[in-house]
A and B are shown apart, each in its own frame.
Chain A
Amino acid sequence: MIARKRSVAILFALMLAVTVSGCGTPSKIYAKNAQLGVYFTVPSDWIAIPEEEIRSYELEAADAAAKNKADLVLWQEAYSASKNTTAKNILQLEAPKALTAFARVRALTIEESDAMSYNGLRNLILPVTDLISGTSTIVDEFQLLDEQEIVIDAARGLETLFSFTPKGGANETVHQTALLSNDRKSIYFFLVRCTTECFNESEETVNAIVDSFTVKESR
């Protein structure tokens, strides 16, 4: 009887302690879309860029085709180390000054779905294949640093690390993860980019962010 009371009391105290200890700030920001099954984390001091901003920026500079594509976006989120980063910085070729992470999930049209290949995944923002072979000169000093195939339960695709210098801008490094869902209906796109200097400075952070990007079976 006494022993039971005591054990109850100890257990209770433990739980209380744990609870109280939780009264602090979390160490990371957890970005997720549980419905689509996409999760990643960024450091807790990063700033989120509102999704409406990204959308409106994309639409104002877009033609009809691009507008249709914008409707296919299922989810997108962007975080940046600096509060000065805007949607423009994310979407243009010119590198943002601070480390930025951008995730997007987009549904594919039937034609795209039929045609999608690893080359297609790789070439989502830049014609990387052509740049590697030298047939494209859209950017200068293109360098493919690393590429890996990713095969997970829900999707498969490519993880590409490359650097380039956009015309009239500083050299930047981009870590691109592009995955095609197994039912070929949507693509998962994750970018971590910065100027090469800042990229190399925050190597650990980048690795942590990139490693955290998870795609699970959508519920």
Chain B
Amino acid sequence: MANAPTEPNVTNVVQFESRPKDTDRKTRIHLSLFDRLKFLVAFTLTFFVLVWSDMAGNPLLGFVDAVNERSRSAWWLFLLAAIEIIRQVHFLISEFASPYHGFWQRYFGFVDRTIHRISDWNRFRLSRAIKLLLWIALLAVILGAVYDEAPVRALFLAPAALWSALPFIAQLMFAVVFVLIQFVAIFWFLSRGGIDVYFPDDIRTRFTDVWGQDHVLARIRENLMFLERPEEIEKFGGYVPGGILLWGPPGTGKTLMAESMAGETGKPFVFVDPGAFNNMFFGVGILKVKSLFRKLRKLALRYGGVVAFFDEADALGNRGLAPAGGLGRYSENECHGGNYLSPVSANLVFREKFVMGGAGGGGGGMGTLQALLTELSGLKKPRGFFNRVVRRTLGMRPKTPPKYRILIVMATNLPEALDEALLRPGRIDRMYRVGYPSKAGRIRTYEGYLAKVSHSLTPEEIDKLATITPYATGAKIKDTINEALIYAIRSGRTTITWPDVIKAKQLKELGPPEDVEYIERERHAVAIHEACHGVMAHVVRRHMMIDLATIEKGSDYLGMVASIPPDDQFTRWKSEYESDILVSLASLAGERMFFAGDNSSGVSGDLESATTIASFMEGHWGMGSTVSSHASNKRFEVGAPGGGGKEKRGEATKELRRSLADRIESNLASLLTKAEKILKENRDQVLSLAHALEVYKTLSGEDVAAVIDGVEGPMVDGRPYTKSKNIKILEAYHEAAMKAHKDHNSPSIALPELSL
């Protein structure tokens, strides 16, 4: 301790002193001089200002006399000054005499406690009443000065003055109201429109007019039945499903179904225009939604129920949230892949696959969607001014609203674009996919539209027609029949025949042919190209049938061989895909074969198709040598198996784990070789088909089959092609064409005519 540092001497350093607490104080805190005198100074100044004004008003008035006069009339100032002096004296004593101060503290404390015995609410009301009285007193004094009367009398004169001033005030108010009314009028006007009400029998469409969607119609019938007889489900404790969503590709009949609902139901049908929610100003959309639902409720009350149809519901917009996993929006020919997963895994998969469609408000603008969501299932609040305000004033509770039977139907092509909150049960209870009609549906549709015109088609022909138009929607079918009728009329007939229909269908699919004539050698080359496709398709692709083959130039192709699946089959197999690749590669193989190693750029589309299918086979469908899906690998950036791996494994494994591109290339190469082999075997058929194409330009599938098989077809006789002499003629023609191709001039032989 000897070497301990000495503490610095802190006694002569000024310390911070806490000032005394308010509760410790015995006397009142000292006021500054200004605080003591400020009111007195104010009163004195006021007095002298008044004297001054008196003197200014009367030229004869002297200062002394003015003071005298004013002190008579401003006696209240003296009164206030006297009160103030007493108050200041009181404060002064409190500042010096602690018993005095103590006494007053205790007194005020007592008063405070007494007053606080009254409840807070009552104290508030009391103070409010006192304040009101003070304001009235002040008003009375001012009015008394204005009217030169006693204040209380002046107070009673004031209403009369107000009454006489009312016209002026009313004029001022009118100016305000005038502008207000203009705004109200504009918004009211803008929020009108877009809503049409149809009453029963205004629309004549019925369920029997909707063809090909019987499964959806059955469910809709059920919904309508519940709308008209809600007690059927409510008596068992259920509730009427309130919302339907019809979604699917365009042209499948969603709007038509809505129309038929309008025609069938005995309730009013409200059609909401999709553009109704696009508006110029913010807030108009909300007004529209509110006024729409007001109308719906009124109609529901009056008629016992109402159906509201929102067409193109994706116009409403989306708030940008991902849809819930569980709504299958995958392509047609895949197993969904989500339903058997646990919810966590399903979320993992589907959240990543969010599709952007109208995110961020969309067409409806701020608040429109929210307003719609609230109206669809918001609070069941009591409605009406009288109900809410007047009843409450009279001490009664407002009545709860009655049950409004409103059925909401929405139709859309883009279900991804709909907000998640809209699609929850409670708002939209039922979601029905209105997809491409099945074959039976197509047959029914064809029969329906053909029944409206005069035709000579047999039921077998209609069946065939339905078969060769797999993705035809009702709209397309209607259009095709109409086009067929136009063809018939142009040919001078009024009855539709089979060729009319076929031509119409081809026109729809291929578009009108461009009026372009190929030069001979190019015509031959295109014919060979398409013939290779056709023959390969006929030979290997048994799961599809050829729809047509043509060398007429279209907008984005030189020639085409189109095939369609004969049955509605929803899965496809490895062998089928391989035959697809073979057909695609047939053109390349054929051109090389027939033109001695040369090939055109026209194969680009075919190669693209072939490569795409091969890639999917390798990477996605487990039809290659690996199992992992390339799609997932890519998404999570894991890398393809075997892609430049550093480890040295066994030879066999290395073979299997070669990178994806290499594998695809080798697959395609082996298939190309196979294609060449098949074409070599069918060389004669290729030449025959090419000749037929050059002669007839467009052949239907049956004619193609007829030519290849050497039988008589509906339009083309294929028997000459079986004769070897004709084959020789065709070979010679081909030689000439090949020479012309090399020399860039026209072939020396013209297109031969073959006879039986």
Q: Residues of A at under 8 Å CB distance from B?
A: 5, 8, 12, 15-16, 18-19, 21-28, 30, 32, 34, 39-41, 212, 214, 216
Contacts and interface: CB of A to CB of B under 8 A. Distances in A.
- Which of B37, B40, B60 has most A Cβ within 10 Å? B60
Contacts of A12: 37, 40-41, 44
A25 B61 CA distance: 14
Contact of A26 (B47, B57, B65): B65
10 contacts: A8-B37, A12-B40, A18-B67, A19-B44, A19-B47, A22-B64, A22-B70, A26-B64, A26-B69, A32-B60
Contact of B68 (A5, A8, A25, A40): A25
A129 to B, nearest CB: 32
A30 B41 contact: no
B59 interface: yes
B59 to A, nearest CB: 6
Contacts of B59: 39, 214, 216
A24 B65 CA distance: 9
Given A19-B47, A22-B64, A30 B71 contact: no
Interface residues of B, number: 19
Given A12-B44, A15-B48, A26 B68 contact: yes
Contacts of B47: 19
Contacts of A28: 65
Interface in B45-68: 47-48, 57-61, 64-65, 67-68
A27 to B, nearest CB: 6
A32 B58 contact: yes
Contacts of A8: 33, 37
B65 A40 contact: no
**Which 10 residue pairs of A and B lie closest in terms of their CB atoms, listed nearest first?**
A22-B67, A26-B68, A26-B65, A22-B71, A39-B60, A15-B44, A22-B68, A41-B60, A212-B60, A214-B59
B58 A34 contact: yes
Given A15-B44, A39-B58, A214-B59, A24 B68 contact: yes
Given A26-B65, A39-B58, A39-B60, 10 more contacts: A12-B44, A21-B67, A22-B68, A22-B70, A26-B64, A30-B61, A32-B60, A39-B59, A40-B60, A216-B59
A32 B58 CA distance: 8
A189 B699 CA distance: 128
A27 B60 contact: no
Contacts of A34: 57-58
Contacts of A21: 64, 67
A67 to B, nearest CB: 28
A19 B58 contact: no
A39 B54 CA distance: 13
B148 to A, nearest CB: 12
A144 B47 CA distance: 48
A27 B58 contact: no
A28 B61 CA distance: 9
Contacts of A40: 60
Contacts of B37: 8, 12
Contacts of B61: 30
Contact of B65 (A5, A16, A30): A30
B33 A23 contact: no
A28 B58 CA distance: 13
Contacts of B68: 22-26
A27 B65 contact: yes
Contacts of A30: 58, 60-61, 65, 69
A204 B69 CA distance: 24
A27 B64 contact: yes
Interface string B594-610: 00000000000000000
Nearest to A25: B68
A26 B70 CA distance: 10
Contacts of A39: 58-60
Nearest to B70: A22
Contacts of A214: 59-60
